[in-house]
Amino acid sequence: MYSFFDAVSLGIPLVFKLDILILVFIGTVAGLLIGALPGLTSAMAVALLVPMTYTLSPEQAFAILLPAYAAGTFGGSVAAILLNIPGTGAAIMTTLDGSPLREQGQAGRAIGLAISASVLGGLASAAVLMAIAPAAALWALKLGAHEYFAVALFGLVVIAFVSDAPVAGMLSGAVGLLLATAGNDPAGAYPRFTFGQSEMVGGLQFVPVMIGLFGIAEVLTVVDRGLADRPPVTQKLKGVYQSLLEPLVRFTVLVRSIITGLVIGIMPGSGPTIGSVMSYGLEKSIGRNRAQMGRGAPEGVIAAEAANNSGTGGALVPMFALGIPGDAVTAILIGALLIHGLQPGPAMFLEQPELVSSLFLLFVMGNIFFLAIGLAGLPVLLKILETRPRYLLPVVISLCLIGSYAASASLFDAWLALGFGAFGFFMRKLYIPIAPMVLGFILGPLIEDNLRRAIILDDGDISGFVDHPISLLAFAGIGLMIVMPQIMKLGRRRAQEVSGS
């Protein structure tokens, strides 16, 4: 059995090498820089870096990607505190207390709280990842086609319903599933939705789709919101190092936030952003200093940052153990694993245990590196934030197009990225969440293959899904999520009628 000791030790020879350490440094710096820029996200950071890993070995590739995920999640808090503009979705809650602390002349303290809580949350989640993922993978070996189909569908429905607009989320997920069907039919090799384009025979390529949705669309959104002409803001940071131990002084808040982020992050489709929101809400409800929340309370920064970075490790658990993404970034990471010939899921633990251990260790190293690099690089981050985005965004667009073209040396992929960039931009304008579509696109082949396999095993009888307890439980959860909002709405309406009478 793959134990916690194996998860920690087997990958050591693969990662403690000079080239790996250099790549971890590069991934951390890239994640911090992109995450700190207003409007640009950790998902965009990872999507932009994927094309740069084609010629690398798997451990070299993920020495860039996993640290970028960890560092990018924290990077958004820098802009959230200094500019009151969350650099990433996971940093939205950080603005509520981080920006007031800055207005009180305590920007350095807020940055110190954020980076310390982020590192502690990330390292705690890495330990839980190494402890839980092997056991979850062992359990996943018992799953068949019925269970995989139901669990994958459950993960897709979860992220649709935790979006701000559940109906729009469901629509977005359905579009993602539709996009996944483009190309030759896996059973009969009959072309589907290729529109006569030979480049479409193999289906939509992962890299240009992701770069378009998370890269180009983000840039267009930044320009549309007027953030490209944001005037430079100068800041002076004091008290950063003095506040690094403050989260440990508020130990109860820290532990509560880490646990909340982990639990939410492990749920397929949730990820760091939702964990951060839940943690902040919990602290505001039961915290000792809840009356000051939103006015510059250090507990607010700790709750948001510890939860969103512990959510990163949580989101990696279903990715490694089940091959199901925990959030949009892990969906991109699954695509990167497939590009390098790796199939995430329980088979990885059996066939390549050393590689799995190396990936775990790289995630740990990413969290350690962004502590050191984040502290040392704060002056550089300040200078970048003082630069008008209008000078930086053309560089980002250029990198997007180059990365899309590099996927297969095809201009078609560059045009594809531009098309999905425009599509993603209009989705944002219409307040349609992109994450469900990304998960639908990634999970589409898994859902289709297992649905077909299950139906074949049952000779076309779809009632076979009810005979498997796990699939039945997943379908019950899907039904509950669909019905529960209506029940709650009906309950509120009746309560209003009673109070009105």
Digit-by-digit pLDDT tens for the chain (501 residues) are: 566 777 778 888 888 899 999 999 999 998 888 877 766 677 778 888 888 888 888 899 999 999 998 888 888 788 778 776 665 666 777 888 888 888 888 888 888 898 999 999 999 999 988 888 888 777 766 777 887 788 778 777 776 665 667 778 888 888 888 888 888 777 666 778 777 777 777 778 777 887 788 778 878 887 777 765 655 555 667 778 888 888 898 889 899 999 988 888 887 656 677 778 778 888 888 878 778 878 888 888 898 899 888 988 888 888 888 777 777 788 888 888 888 888 888 888 888 888 889 999 999 999 999 888 888 888 777 777 666 667 777 877 887 787 777 666 778 888 888 999 899 899 888 888 887 787 788 778 878 888 888 888 888 777 777 778 878 888 888 788 777 767 777 777 777 766 665
Q: Tell me: do 422 and 490 sit in the same domain.
A: no
Q: CA-CA distance, 310 to 264, in Å (whole number)?
A: 9
Compute the distance between CA of residue 394 and CA of residue 392 in angstroms, rounded to an integer: 6
Task: Looking at the structure, tell me whether residues 72 and 161 fall in a common domain.
Answer: yes
Query: Residue 191 forms beta bridges with which residues?
Result: 184
Return the residue matching tokens 């002076």.
236
In a domain, 6, yes or no: no
Is 3 part of any domain? no
Whether residues 311 and 281 fall in one domain = yes
Q: Do residues 293 and 343 both lie within one domain? A: yes
The pTM for the full model equals 0.75
- Give the DSSP per-residue string, 187-211: TT--EES-TT-GGGTT---HHHHHH
- If one counts the domains in the chain, the total is 2
Asked whether residue 175 is assigned to any structural domain, the reply reads: yes
Evaluate whether 319 touches 346 at the Cβ level (below 8 Å).
no
State whether 452 and 499 are in the same domain: no
Q: Which structure tokens are listed for 462?
A: 């779809």
- Position 1 in a domain: no
What's the pLDDT score for residue 2?
65
Domain identity same for 367 and 445 = yes
The verdict on residue 211 lying in a domain is: yes
What is residue 86's predicted lDDT score, i.e. its pLDDT? 64
- Domain assignment of residue 113, yes or no: yes
Residue 501 lies in a domain: yes
Kindly state whether residues 476 and 444 are assigned to the same domain.
Answer: no
State whether 493 and 358 are in the same domain.
no
Give the pair of three-digit tokens for residue 110. Answer: 């807020």
Q: Which domain holds residue 406?
A: 13-141+150-231+238-457
CA distance 191 to 471: 31
Q: What is the DSSP string of 228-248?
A: GGPPP------STGGGTTHHH
Establish if 5 belongs to a structural domain.
Answer: no
**Sole residue written with tokens 């969350």:** 86
Annotate 53-66 with b (16+ C-beta within 10 A) or e (fewer): beeeebbbbbbbbb
Each residue of 150-184: b (16+ CB within 10 Å) or e? bbbbbbbbbbbbbbeebebbbbbbebbbebbebbe
